[in-house]
Every structure is written in structure tokens, then in C-alpha cells.
């Protein structure tokens, strides 16, 4: 599975790259702040929302510390999606949140 550090994701955002970021934390966790533009799909609902994700795009998956996003990335990879796990999750994120 491909991994990317939080500061690498932030650098891509700052360069104006169009990123598909999926935040798999629970709704109450996301309420405390998420990466701007990230889509919240809690891990437990991910399987039921696959039709909402574009298979031709690469998706960056994020959670609090990297565990759930790792599971989500494996699930998506098994279904034929292109995925990058953001190592360290939001604990490592230094950029802006919304």
C-alpha cells in the first residue's frame, strides 16, 4: 500500500493540486476539524459508499492516527481503487482545518 506523510499531502495542497481526500473518522471526530475539502465517510460506512468514489482517481485516506485509514486503504485497494494512506493521520497534520 502506498503511504504519504501529512506534510507531503499539505505540500501538494499548497501547490494547488486537486486531491481526493477521504476522512474515515467518525462524524464527531471530524467536527473538531478536517483537512479542507476532505470528504467524511466513516470507516463503517465506506463499503456502502463505494459508488460515490471515482475509480479513475487516486484517493488519499486519512483518520486520527493511521490505523483506520490503513484498513480503509486495504478495503479500497481490494476493490480496485487507487489509494494512498496518510501515515500518522490527523495527529501529524499541521496544515489548516475546516
Domains of the chain by start residue, with CATH: 2-92 (3.40.250.10)
pLDDT at 97: 97
pLDDT at 67: 96
d(CA 49, CA 46): 5
Per-residue confidence band for 92, with pLDDT thresholds at 50, 70 and 90: very high
pLDDT at 55: 96
d(CA 60, CA 58): 7
Q: CA 48 from chain center: how many Å?
A: 16
pTM for the predicted model, two decimal places = 0.96
Strand partners of residue 40: 23
pLDDT at 38: 97
Which sequence positions are flagged as catalytic?
63
**C-alpha closest to that of 50 among 71, 29, 72:** 72
Q: In b/e form, how buried is each residue of 69-83, taking b as 16+ CB within 10 angstroms?
A: bbebbebbeeeebeb
Cell 480496485, located at residue = 80
Q: What cell does 58 get?
A: 487516486
pLDDT at 21: 98
Q: 2-48, pLDDT tens digit by residue?
A: 999 999 999 999 999 999 999 999 999 999 999 999 999 999 999 99
Q: 35-88, pLDDT tens digit by residue?
A: 999 999 999 999 999 999 999 999 999 999 999 999 999 999 999 999 999 999
Amino acid at each position: 500500500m502506498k503511504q504519504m506523510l501529512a506534510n507531503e499531502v499539505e505540500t501538494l495542497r499548497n501547490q494547488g493540486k486537486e486531491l481526493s481526500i477521504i476522512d474515515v473518522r467518525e462524524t464527531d471526530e471530524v467536527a473538531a476539524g478536517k483537512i479542507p475539502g476532505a470528504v467524511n465517510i466513516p470507516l463503517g460506512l465506506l463499503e456502502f459508499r463505494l459508488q460515490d468514489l471515482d475509480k479513475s482517481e487516486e484517493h488519499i485516506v486519512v483518520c486520527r492516527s493511521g490505523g483506520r485509514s490503513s484498513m480503509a486503504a486495504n478495503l479500497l485497494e481490494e476493490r480496485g481503487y487507487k489509494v494512498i494512506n496518510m501515515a500518522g493521520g490527523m495527529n501529524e497534520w499541521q496544515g489548516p482545518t475546516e
